[in-house]
Structure 1
């Protein structure tokens, strides 16, 4: 019997309608089989850990990421996999963060949730929960088949640090355009084994120290020097610059001078694209060649969620700056592809 540790943080998936008031309220996950009777037919033993109180995912913080990582560490040897029930709004951030915090992972850590409460007739909660549980239990040659931090939603399993929430009105809430789907669940569950990461003979190491002293500079035509100054002159140690296309920015001298000055003062500038598909390619066009020269870091095809959490993780490791910069533009958990 496969042993799965289930963590309920909060979110729509655990809500039922109060018959007296009509309001949504969380149900008790210790009685989960009453709400999902299909679980009795699965060869799984569930250990349930529910947050008390549960939290809305909008209130997720790095401290809670660290708590989740510690829960996994403490229960790692006694369980075959982990299922985290989480609100969808910040799920991609938490999944990305845990992918970096859990080094040497050899067991599945799968996030799922739902767009409708589990008590609704048309809910997506039951299917998401049951299939995510089945994938978390899957083994191949005696080993976990998907030893990664992942997100399962609407028939697809994605690498956690490659996803973002793109739709709040459809069951298909997440996408991963720059990396293949790991598992597709139809009549049969099809595993894309070539895309699934493996860590042979690895030992889990948990890194719970993160540093959230980062800023974001989102570019747009007509951005003023005053707005750029607010971000570049802040106390942030590192800044994510959301640029155009393949990493392009305005070539206005005032803008480039401000960027170069910030880098000379020790700021880390990470360039990611506002485009959801494709990659930053510094130096491909004249508009980005200056960025490459001055030391802007190439973020390649990282999602915003991965960029935020990777920076927090690397700053928390207190690496020497040259090593931090190398790791920032190198794939360490499959979060980016260099072209």
Structure 2
């Protein structure tokens, strides 16, 4: 990434959501804790040679373990980012977030903040600030320094000295200092020529009901029907290989057709770590296409989940949602 063409951030809003980075011991184990602003200021003051942009701090409420992250919280986070840029006068935002769902949140915010002319960086840590060998301050300070050097507008994920694209990465390990990695997913999707005004970050978004279902040997219509009947608007179907499923199961295919008829947007992605979906390669994939399943190409689970939430929450027509699922919106397919 060429940062030389991007203006350095001079005033950063730090949004603290909780997560491991600021956790402290409680009677039931590590739990989110207030007071992180003072701890952050103290460690920066102790390093006078470290050059970072001016910053201010906002503690989100409630502070959460990121295992408790929800799409409702994303809406509050989106509003906090917009407030920081358009009301508080900041030119960048740093979001401190737990690692378990950080990739989900960063991908979701990539779609929720389309059109925002400012960089937003997510980071966190694998160990709480202050404990031996913690990675907390190296990630906070590194993210601030990256913003100070200049990053393009849009959402980024910073961890262990690396800037990652949220719509192309995932948390791949539960230990160590670099739990996130860019996935080698298929590229080559067609970019959307124009985006509906409803997707702009200034436009209000409604909550959507999206589910994820991994396929497994022996899966049947009963499991699928349970999700469809729960009132979902979108379903990410994690398929085998290049996008195959139980195509010799008429009841399963009928359930997928019923989902399509009821307006549920079903998107196929691959369970594989690398590659992507090509529904027309095998008959077992083309039959999914025949009953209305859309191709998610090389989208990650996190990107597909965040994208469906944004498209469905924008109040677009069913046809427009289906068209944009298979078009690149912010780097998830290209």
Change (3 A) 1:17 1:219: closer
Corresponding residue of 2:236: 240
Residue of structure 2 equivalent to 1:147: 153
Q: Which residue of 2 aligns with 1:206?
A: 202
Given candidates 13, 17, 20, the residue that maps to 1:12 is 20
More contact order relative to length (CA 8 Å, sep ≥ 6): 2
Aligned residue among 49, 58, 67 for 1:58 = 67
TM-aligned CA distance change 1:261 to 1:154, over 3 Å: same
Q: Which residue of 2 aligns with 1:198?
A: none
SS in 2 for 1:215: strand
The residue correspondences of 1:108-127 to structure 2 (distance < 5 A) are: 108-127=119-138
Match of 2:327 in 1: 330
SS at match of 2:130: coil
The secondary structure found in structure 2 opposite 1:327 is helix
**Alignment partner of 1:301: what SS?**
coil
Deviation at 1:68, TM superposition (A): 1.6
Aligned to 1:224: 220
TM-score normalised by L of structure 2: 0.84
Give the TM-score of the pair, scaled to structure 1.
0.83
Pairing 1:169–2:192 present: no
CA contact (8 A) 1:101 1:207 kept: no
Once residues 226 and 48 of structure 2 are traced to their aligned partners in structure 1, the CA distance between those partners, rounded to angstroms, is 53
Is this contact kept in 2: 1:299–1:329, CA < 8 A? yes
1:15–1:119 Cα contact (<8 Å) kept: no
Aligned pairs, number: 307
In structure 2, do the counterparts of structure 1 residues 43 and 117 end up closer, same or farther at CA, with 3 Å as the change threshold? closer
**Residues 126, 234 of structure 1: alpha-carbon distance in 2 compared, 3 angstrom cutoff:** same
Would the aligned equivalents of 2:32 and 2:64 in 1 still touch at CA under 8 Å? Answer: no
- Which 5+ residue runs of structure 1 have no aligned equivalent? 140-144, 181-203
Aligned counterpart, 1:199:
none
Corresponding residue for residue 201 of structure 1: none
Deviation at 1:211, TM superposition (A): 2.8
Distance 1:279 1:171 in 2: 28
Cα pair 1:237 1:267 within 8 Å, conserved: yes
* Inter-partner Cα distance in structure 1 for 2:181 and 2:10: 29
Quickly say closer, same or farther: Cα 1:102–1:70, change in 2 above 3 A: same
Paired position in structure 2 for 1:296: 293
Whether 2:37 is the aligned partner of 1:29: answer yes
Give how far 1:309 is off: 1.6
Deviation for aligned residue 1:304: 1.0
1:71 matched residue in structure 2? 80
Q: Which residue of structure 2 lines up, in the alignment, with residue 269 of structure 1?
A: 266
In structure 1, the residue matched to 2:282 is 285
SS in 2 for 1:88: coil
Give the match's secondary structure for 2:55: strand
Unaligned runs of 5+ in 2: 1-8, 187-199
Name the structure 1 match of 2:189: none
Contact 1:101 1:206 in 2 (8 A): no
Matches within 5 A, 1:83-162: 83-139=94-150, 145-162=151-168
Q: Which moved more, 1:34-43 or 1:91-100?
A: 34-43
Report Cα offsets for 1:180-202 as digits up to 9, x if no partner.
Answer: 9xxxxxxxxxxxxxxxxxxxxxx
Kept in 2, the 8 Å contact 1:218–1:242? The answer is yes
**Contact 1:280–1:299 (CA under 8 A) maintained in structure 2:** yes
SS at match of 2:111: helix
Question: What's the offset of the Cα at 1:136?
Answer: 1.4
Q: What residue number does 1:197 align with?
A: none
Q: Is the 8 A contact 2:19 2:99 kept in 1?
A: yes
SS, match of residue 328 in structure 2: coil
Alignment root-mean-square deviation, CA: 2.4
